[in-house]
Amino acid sequence: MTVTFLSPQGQVAWSREQIEEMSSELASRLMACHGEGGCRIAVIGDTSSASALLARAALVAGFQITFLGMVGRAPAMMASLRERLDQLRPDIVVGPGLEIRDLATGAQRVAIEDLLDPPLRRRSRRGACDGFEPARFRLVQFTSGTTGEPRPVTISRDALESNLESLRRRFRASADDSIFSWLPLNHDMGLVGTVLLSDHLSCRLTLCSPRTFLAHPGMWERWITAARPTSIPAPNSGWSLLSHRAGGRDRSAVRHALESLRVAIIGAEPIDPVLCERLVTGPARLLPPGSLVPAYGLAEATLAVSAEPPGNPPVIVDAAGTDESGGDARVVSTGMPLDGLSVSIRDGDRELGDREIGEITVHGSSLADEYRDEPGGLATGDEGFTVGSRLFVTGRRKDLIKVHGRRVFPHEIERLAESSGLVRRGRTVAFSLSSPPPERSVLLIEPAKGTRSQHREMEDHLRRLVLESLGVRLDIISVVEPGSIPKTTSGKLKRNDARSIFLSA
CATH number for the domain spanning 340: value is 3.40.50.12780
Q: Are 153 and 368 in contact (CB under 8 A)?
A: yes
Quick one: 311 and 286 in the same domain?
A: yes
Quick one: 383 and 289 in the same domain?
A: yes
Quick one: 355 and 486 in the same domain?
A: no
Q: Are 178 and 227 in contact (CB under 8 A)?
A: yes
Quick one: 280 and 390 in the same domain?
A: yes
Quick one: 405 and 392 in the same domain?
A: no
pLDDT per residue rounded down to tens, the chain (505 residues): 789 999 888 899 999 899 999 999 999 999 888 766 679 999 998 888 899 999 999 999 999 999 998 876 667 677 788 888 999 999 999 999 888 887 767 889 999 998 888 887 655 444 556 689 999 999 999 987 554 578 899 999 999 999 999 999 999 999 999 999 999 999 999 999 999 999 999 999 999 999 899 889 889 999 999 999 999 999 988 998 888 877 666 788 889 999 999 999 999 778 989 899 999 998 888 999 999 999 999 999 999 999 999 999 999 998 765 544 444 578 999 999 999 999 999 998 899 999 999 999 999 999 999 998 888 899 999 999 999 999 999 988 888 887 766 778 888 898 889 888 888 888 899 998 887 777 888 999 998 876 666 778 888 899 999 888 888 888 899 988 888 888 876 677 888 888 888 888 7
* 116 in a structural domain: no
* 73 in a structural domain: no
Whether the CA torsion 224, 225, 226, 231 is positive or negative: it is positive
Task: Please tell me the total count of domains within the chain.
Answer: 2
Quick one: 386 and 463 in the same domain?
A: no
CA-based nearest residue to 246, from 276, 287, 289: 287
* 105 in a structural domain: no
Quick one: 384 and 426 in the same domain?
A: no
Of 382, 398, 414, which residue is a domain's last? 398
* 170 in a structural domain: no
The per-residue pLDDT for 89 is: 92
Single-letter amino acid, residue 133: E
Quick one: 406 and 476 in the same domain?
A: yes
The per-residue pLDDT for 183 is: 93
* 451 in a structural domain: yes
* 55 in a structural domain: no
* 110 in a structural domain: no
Structural domain of 492 = 400-504
Quick one: 455 and 482 in the same domain?
A: yes
Of 398, 416, 447, which residue is a domain's last? 398
Quick one: 212 and 313 in the same domain?
A: yes
The per-residue pLDDT for 323 is: 47
Is 424 exposed, middle or buried, given 0-12, 13-18 or 19+ CB atoms closer than 10 A?
A: middle
The per-residue pLDDT for 401 is: 83
Of 398, 419, 449, which residue is a domain's last? 398
Number of Cβ within 10 Å of residue 323's Cβ equals: 18
CATH number for the domain spanning 496: value is 3.30.300.30
The per-residue pLDDT for 325 is: 44
Quick one: 417 and 499 in the same domain?
A: yes
* 406 in a structural domain: yes
For 200-352, strand residue ranges (E) read: 204-208, 231-235, 263-267, 292-297, 304-307, 316-318, 330-332, 336-337, 341-347, 350-351
Any residues with CB less than 8 A from the CB of 236 and at least 6 apart, and which?
266, 267, 268, 269, 271, 272, 275, 491
Quick one: 325 and 269 in the same domain?
A: yes
The per-residue pLDDT for 121 is: 61
